[in-house]
């Protein structure tokens, strides 16, 4: 992905769309890691579509109590059974991913909006600023994400944006690290030196040379970010810091715990499996992408 | 002259997503018992891969795709993994370039010997094996108490002695030395080469010496094979090679060695750049840089052919 | 760099990082929400009560003074007081810490063993089916929410098969006694250790029984990370020349992989694993909650549900310090054991 620029216009007109399409095409093309990306993509695609179509395909309203008998195992009328409050599990499964996915998307966007500029600026500038920011980021990097999330949610209340913020706060250091190590390498490369010598502005260098080259690794981090975000949301739900009023796979597990002694496995298994699938899907994509890059 | 090693049309390819690279291209030569064959070439000429291929240690994505390797009559390529393992170390030993990284840092040097000796002959006890190691150390001019030291406690030259010690410990028939002195300074290099010569005499072991240094082979080898882009360009006796090179590449190599006796010389190099192994030109791989090139060279890749007596060359000019 | 220089540098680096974290916690818990007492009672309660609470907790002091008290308090081991019971948080945490320690050590052992075995096997057969399977295992197991895996294991082994207990650390409030040496009573709080000290083998096995499911749950999920770490580290190591040289000597494949590659990679791998302590702690929170283990993790959850913000602050501070200390220790031990620095 090294582009020798003959004049500035050439780079500017190299639009974002064709580049994005090229990236997707090469991700799906033959080569190592392809299976992972495709499999992960199918899983995530399925979940996203299911979540989007929920109002249309869900047999019952997932929050209505006692549409059926309580604690009934899977049967013809309720294919995935009902929970302690008589709610249809199938409907809850279909609706259950929306909140988590929303939070995940918000978290990733926040991370990108905050982490990428900070990483680029700090690594490119260097000097004391870089050292201080690195110190701050290193301190936060080692801290368990769940603890910080618990504190933020516990203090500021449970809603999607707070969860997204909590997850973003913990994840920005990961983006920072990856971006920084890449920028440090790239900024020493001859073509950057060349650009500087013809008087290109820093902003231009960062935008046209460095940014496109760090994007692949940022995408890898973003996919892991998605996966971790889903798991963190689930974790918060389980502790009791979730939106108990919404249909959500993690909340199902929170309630499902009480059902354990009576052996009502259907309240737990399906919701848990959906969480695993979501995290798995993103995990597979991330592994596939990483493998591709490694095999260059 | 008994043939110990006969390599016929050996081809080794590296298959990656981008391209397939032929690191060793239909290479053929023989090595007589008790003699030393020097294999010279630039980096990327395939000489190191050749050495690894003979002991079947080529790592993926590399793969042997053709040819035969006859060692004492047996085709090594047809052996099962377990049988080959028994040949390695016992009948054919290897010495590697970087003595620093060829020994396990967390293992005592003596332990390397013990494990090795006992692997090929379980009847030997640990004590006996350690004693053998001690004797070898003395033979190589090191204190025998040093078998209890760790690799990083040795200097580069001494580590290479240890490597050589390991190579001769089981008195193999063939030693393949892959750039054994490249990582050493000239003084130590001379000592190691001297050591190799003595060992050759003492244990009458045959040797394949792989190096990029024309000077090293001149002293040590009986016959020399010159490699370029995976091919053998010339194969002849050491004396013959230096006095009557039969290949433009050999000439160019010899020509680029500075003459210590001449003042104010302009350093001659070979014009052009080493070949891109993923995109070799048709015909002779040296054709883009050869001063004697003509049309046929660019179209037809010359095979290695006998010129006279024991000399072979792959060149349309001479063949 | 000598060992001594390394340790000093490392400590010098840790202090600002720790200070930053502690200040961050202070910021999030005190400044941003305003008055934690207010937050707890949500303006409903009678103002006089709020004022009294605020005063008792020292929250009416000027901010800078609160900050100074906070930091100096830490130096004395004071982690604050509970907003609910006014008990010192430090006492609560210390009494619950051994449970967390036992759990994390047990889980670490499970994760490390699985990681090393699967990871080195995958590296050995890189590119093949085993490798692919192991890679998928790593991703799959880590995708499991810890409590989900826990629940499934409880269901299968605790409720359906009835082989193992599903909650707690020992049967019905039993606590291993520890050892009495004259007037000194040694009780670590680690039930496995204490039961051995007391010479009670039956209790020892009971403690193990109760530890099995929680440690397996947490350990297996974390093993996903460890497997990938081991695999990539081993792949690098196997490319090194001493591995090829060992093969060239005709040594068996097993010998080469385990005796040469793994032996050399072991120290760096285990060190990196040790540095993942934060990961284990995070997981411990969920594991303790799921298995009703009274540890620091479940204490945190407990306190946040009670809106006991000062206790939460104290716990988070404790965790921050703990993680920093463990990382420091692991780094130092590695530097000490690295043969290049040692000899």
- Tens of pLDDT, residue by residue over B8-53, are 999 999 887 778 888 999 899 999 998 999 999 888 888 989 999 9
3 state SS for A215-282: HHHHHHHHHHHHHHHHHHHHHHHHHCCCCCCCCCHHHHHHHHHHHHHHCCHHHHHHHHHHHHHHHHHH
Distance between CA atoms of A5 and A220, rounded to whole angstroms? 27
Choice among A270-284, B113-127, B161-175, C25-39 with the minimum mean pLDDT:
C25-39
CA distance C64 to chain A (A): 21
DSSP classification of residue C46: -
What mean pLDDT do residues A139-160 have? 86
Distance between CA atoms of C28 and C316, rounded to whole angstroms? 11
Distance between CA atoms of B12 and B213, rounded to whole angstroms? 23
**Which chain C residues are within 8 Å of A256, Cβ to Cβ?**
151
**Pairing mode of beta strands B62-71, B74-75:** antiparallel
Residue pair B64/B77 in contact (Cβ under 8 Å)? The answer is yes
Residues β-bridged to residue C185: C180
Tell me the pLDDT band of C8, cut-offs 50, 70 and 90.
confident
In chain A, % of residues over pLDDT 70: 88
User: Within a 10 A sphere around the Cβ of B271, how many other Cβ atoms?
Assistant: 10
**Which chain A residues are within 8 Å of C160, Cβ to Cβ?**
263
Question: Residue A191: is its pLDDT beyond 80?
Answer: no
**Which chain A residues are within 8 Å of B17, Cβ to Cβ?**
31-32, 295
> Which chains, if any, share at least 3 CB pairs under 8 A with chain C?
A, B
Cα nearest neighbour of B89 on chain C: C249
Tell me the pLDDT band of A226, cut-offs 50, 70 and 90.
very high
Nearest to C24 by CA among A109, A173, A159, A108: A173
Residue pair B292/B318 in contact (Cβ under 8 Å)? The answer is no
Residue pair B185/B99 in contact (Cβ under 8 Å)? The answer is no
Question: Residue A185: is its pLDDT beyond 90?
Answer: no
Question: Residue C91: is its pLDDT beyond 60?
Answer: yes
Tell me the pLDDT band of C182, cut-offs 50, 70 and 90.
low
**Mean pLDDT over the full length of chain C:** 85
What mean pLDDT do residues C206-228 have? 93
Tell me the pLDDT band of A3, cut-offs 50, 70 and 90.
very low
Question: Residue C285: is its pLDDT beyond 80?
Answer: yes
Burial status of residue C265 (CB atoms within 10 A of its CB: 0-12, 13-18, 19 or more): buried
Distance between CA atoms of B108 and B106, rounded to whole angstroms? 7
**Which chain B residues are within 8 Å of C244, Cβ to Cβ?**
52, 57, 59, 96
**Which chain B residues are within 8 Å of A32, Cβ to Cβ?**
17
Tell me the pLDDT band of C32, cut-offs 50, 70 and 90.
low
- Type and span of the H or E element at B12: strand B3-15
**Which chain C residues are within 8 Å of A139, Cβ to Cβ?**
17-18, 20-21
Whether the CB of B86 is below 8 Å from some CB of chain C: the reply is: yes
Residue pair B210/B51 in contact (Cβ under 8 Å)? The answer is yes
**Which chain A residues are within 8 Å of C289, Cβ to Cβ?**
238-239
Nearest to C122 by CA among C216, C272, C249, C261: C261
**Which chain C residues are within 8 Å of A140, Cβ to Cβ?**
21, 24
Asked whether the beta carbons of residue A287 and residue C135 sit closer than 8 angstroms, the reply is yes
pLDDT: is C30 or C10 the higher one? Answer: C10
- Mention every residue, 6+ apart, whose C-beta is less than 8 A from residue C124: C234, C238, C253, C257
Tell me the pLDDT band of B275, cut-offs 50, 70 and 90.
confident
Whether the CB of B115 is below 8 Å from some CB of chain C: the reply is: yes
Residue pair B211/B40 in contact (Cβ under 8 Å)? The answer is yes
- pLDDT tens digits for C315-331? 998 998 898 888 888 88
DSSP classification of residue B147: G
Whether the CB of B78 is below 8 Å from some CB of chain C: the reply is: no
Residue pair A111/A100 in contact (Cβ under 8 Å)? The answer is no
Across the interface, which of B90, B96, B107 has its CB nearest the CB of C250? B90
Taken as a whole, chain B contains a residue count of 319
- Mention every residue, 6+ apart, whose C-beta is less than 8 A from residue A213: A1, A2, A182, A186
Question: So what's the pLDDT on residue A1?
Answer: 38
| Helix, coil or strand: residue A21 | helix
What mean pLDDT do residues C124-129 have? 83
Asked whether the beta carbons of residue C260 and residue B150 sit closer than 8 angstroms, the reply is no
Question: Residue C16: is its pLDDT beyond 70?
Answer: yes
**Which chain A residues are within 8 Å of C307, Cβ to Cβ?**
154
**Percent helix / strand / coil, chain C, rounded to 5:** 75, 0, 20
Across the interface, which of B94, B115, B153 has its CB nearest the CB of C251? B115
Choice among B225-229, C83-87, C227-231 with the minimum mean pLDDT:
C83-87
Distance between CA atoms of A261 and C117, rounded to whole angstroms? 35
CA distance B220 to chain C (A): 23
Across the interface, which of A143, A240, A256 has its CB nearest the CB of C320? A143
Asked whether the beta carbons of residue C29 and residue A151 sit closer than 8 angstroms, the reply is yes
Chain C contact probe: residue of B54, B71, B91, B105 with most C CBs at under 10 A: B105
Burial status of residue C224 (CB atoms within 10 A of its CB: 0-12, 13-18, 19 or more): buried
Question: Residue C142: is its pLDDT beyond 70?
Answer: yes
CA distance A217 to chain B (A): 20
Across the interface, which of B101, B120, B152 has its CB nearest the CB of C339? B152
Residue pair B179/B211 in contact (Cβ under 8 Å)? The answer is yes
Chain A contact probe: residue of C20, C107, C143, C320 with most A CBs at under 10 A: C143
Q: Is the peptide bond before A127 cis (omega within 30 degrees of 0)?
A: no
**Mean pLDDT over the full length of chain B:** 87
Question: So what's the pLDDT on residue A296?
Answer: 38
Choice among B249-258, C56-65, C165-174 with the minimum mean pLDDT:
C56-65
Asked whether the beta carbons of residue A155 and residue C281 sit closer than 8 angstroms, the reply is no
Tell me the pLDDT band of A257, cut-offs 50, 70 and 90.
confident
- Type and span of the H or E element at A108: helix A97-125
What mean pLDDT do residues C191-219 have? 88
- pLDDT tens digits for B278-296? 888 888 888 888 888 888 8
- pLDDT tens digits for B137-171? 988 888 888 888 888 888 888 888 888 888 888 88
Asked whether the beta carbons of residue A268 and residue C155 sit closer than 8 angstroms, the reply is yes
**Which chain A residues are within 8 Å of C292, Cβ to Cβ?**
none
Whether the CB of C246 is below 8 Å from some CB of chain B: the reply is: yes
Question: So what's the pLDDT on residue A6?
Answer: 42
Choice among A206-220, B190-204, C147-161 with the minimum mean pLDDT:
A206-220
Residues of C (71-90) whose Cβ lies below 8 Å from B: none
């Amino acid at each position: 992905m090294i582009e020798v620029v003959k004049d500035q216009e050439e780079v500017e007109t190299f639009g974002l769309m064709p580049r994005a399409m090229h990236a997707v095409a090469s991700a799906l093309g033959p080569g190592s890691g392809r299976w992972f990306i495709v499999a992960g993509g199918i899983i995530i695609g399925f979940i996203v579509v299911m979540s989007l179509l929920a109002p249309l395909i869900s047999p019952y309203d997932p929050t209505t109590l006692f549409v059926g008998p309580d604690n009934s195992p899977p049967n013809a009328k309720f294919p995935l059974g009902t929970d302690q409050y008589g709610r249809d599990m199938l409907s809850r499964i279909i609706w259950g991913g929306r909140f988590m996915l929303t939070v995940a998307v918000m978290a990733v966007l926040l991370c990108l909006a905050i982490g990428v500029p900070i990483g680029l600026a700090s690594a490119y500038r260097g000097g004391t600023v870089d050292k201080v920011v690195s110190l701050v980021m290193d301190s936060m990097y080692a801290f368990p994400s769940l603890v910080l999330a618990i504190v933020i949610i516990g203090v500021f209340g449970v809603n999607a944006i707070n969860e997204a913020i909590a997850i973003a706060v913990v994840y920005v250091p990961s983006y920072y690290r990856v971006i920084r190590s890449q920028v440090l390498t790239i900024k020493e490369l001859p073509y950057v030196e060349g650009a500087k010598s013809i008087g290109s502005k820093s902003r231009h260098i960062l935008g046209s040379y460095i940014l496109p080259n760090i994007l692949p690794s940022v995408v890898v981090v973003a996919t892991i970010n998605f996966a971790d975000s889903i798991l963190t949301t689930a974790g918060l739900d389980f502790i009791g810091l979730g939106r108990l009023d919404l249909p959500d796979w993690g909340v199902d597990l929170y309630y499902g715990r009480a059902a354990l002694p009576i052996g009502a496995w259907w309240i737990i298994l399906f919701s848990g499996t959906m969480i695993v699938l979501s995290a798995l899907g993103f995990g597979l994509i991330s592994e596939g992408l990483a493998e591709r890059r490694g095999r260059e | 002259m008994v043939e110990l090693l006969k390599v016929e049309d050996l081809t080794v390819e590296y298959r990656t997503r981008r391209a397939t690279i032929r690191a060793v291209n239909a290479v053929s030569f023989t090595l007589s018992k008790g003699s030393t064959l020097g294999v010279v070439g630039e980096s990327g000429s395939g000489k190191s891969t050749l050495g690894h291929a003979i002991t079947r240690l080529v790592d993926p994505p590399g793969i042997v795709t053709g040819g035969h390797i006859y060692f004492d009559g047996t085709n090594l390529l047809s052996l099962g993994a377990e049988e080959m393992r028994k040949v390695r170390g016992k009948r054919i030993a290897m010495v590697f370039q970087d003595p620093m990284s060829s020994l396990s840092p967390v293992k005592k040097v003596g332990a390397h010997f013990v494990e090795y000796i006992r692997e090929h002959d379980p009847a030997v006890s640990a004590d006996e094996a350690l004693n053998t190691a001690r004797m070898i150390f003395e033979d190589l001019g090191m204190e025998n108490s040093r078998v209890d030291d760790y690799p990083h406690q040795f200097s580069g030259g001494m580590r290479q002695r240890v490597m050589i010690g390991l190579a001769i410990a089981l008195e193999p028939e063939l030693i393949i030395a892959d750039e054994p002195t490249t990582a050493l300074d000239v003084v130590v290099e001379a000592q190691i080469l001297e050591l190799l010569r003595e060992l050759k005499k003492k244990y009458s072991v045959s040797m394949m010496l792989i190096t990029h240094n024309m000077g090293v082979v001149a002293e040590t080898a009986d016959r020399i094979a010159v490699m370029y882009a995976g091919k053998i360009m010339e194969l002849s006796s050491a004396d013959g090679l230096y006095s009557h090179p039969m290949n433009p590449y050999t000439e160019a190599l010899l020509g680029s060695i500075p003459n210590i006796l001449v003042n104010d010389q302009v350093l001659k190099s070979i014009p052009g750049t080493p070949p891109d192994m993923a995109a070799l030109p048709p015909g002779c791989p040296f054709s883009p840089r050869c001063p004697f090139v003509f049309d046929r060279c660019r179209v037809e890749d010359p095979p290695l052919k006998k010129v006279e007596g024991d000399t072979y060359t792959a060149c349309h000019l001479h063949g | 760099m000598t060992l001594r220089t390394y340790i000093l540098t490392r400590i010098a680096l840790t202090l600002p990082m720790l200070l930053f974290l502690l200040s961050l916690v202070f910021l999030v818990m005190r400044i941003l929400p305003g008055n934690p007492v207010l937050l707890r009672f949500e303006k409903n309660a009678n103002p006089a009560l709020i004022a009294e609470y605020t005063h008792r907790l020292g929250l009416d002091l000027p901010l800078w003074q609160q900050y100074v008290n906070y930091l100096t308090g830490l130096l004395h081991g004071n982690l604050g007081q509970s907003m609910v019971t006014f008990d010192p948080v430090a006492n609560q945490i210390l009494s619950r810490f051994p449970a967390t320690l036992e759990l994390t050590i047990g889980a670490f052992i499970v994760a490390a063993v699985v990681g090393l075995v699967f990871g080195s096997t995958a590296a050995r057969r890189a590119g093949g089916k085993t490798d692919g399977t192991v890679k998928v295992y790593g991703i799959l197991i880590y995708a499991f929410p810890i409590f989900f895996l826990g629940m499934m294991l409880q269901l299968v082994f605790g409720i359906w098969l009835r082989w193992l207990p599903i909650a707690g650390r020992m049967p019905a409030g039993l606590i291993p006694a520890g050892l009495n040496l004259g007037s000194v009573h040694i009780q670590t709080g680690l039930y496995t250790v204490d039961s051995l000290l007391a010479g009670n083998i039956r209790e020892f096995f009971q403690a193990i029984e109760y530890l099995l499911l929680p440690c397996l749950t947490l350990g297996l999920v974390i093993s996903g990370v460890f497997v990938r770490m081991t695999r990539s580290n081993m792949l690098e190591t196997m490319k090194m020349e001493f591995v090829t040289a060992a093969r060239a000597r005709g040594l068996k494949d097993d010998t080469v992989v385990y005796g040469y590659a793994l032996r050399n990679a072991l120290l760096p791998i285990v060190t990196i694993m040790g540095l993942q302590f934060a990961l284990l702690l995070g997981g411990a929170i969920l594991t303790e909650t799921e298995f009703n283990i009274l540890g620091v993790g479940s204490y945190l959850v407990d306190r946040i549900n009670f809106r006991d913000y000062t206790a939460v602050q104290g716990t988070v501070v404790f965790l921050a310090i703990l993680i920093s200390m463990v990382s420091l220790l692991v780094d130092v031990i590695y530097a000490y054991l690295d043969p290049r620095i040692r000899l």
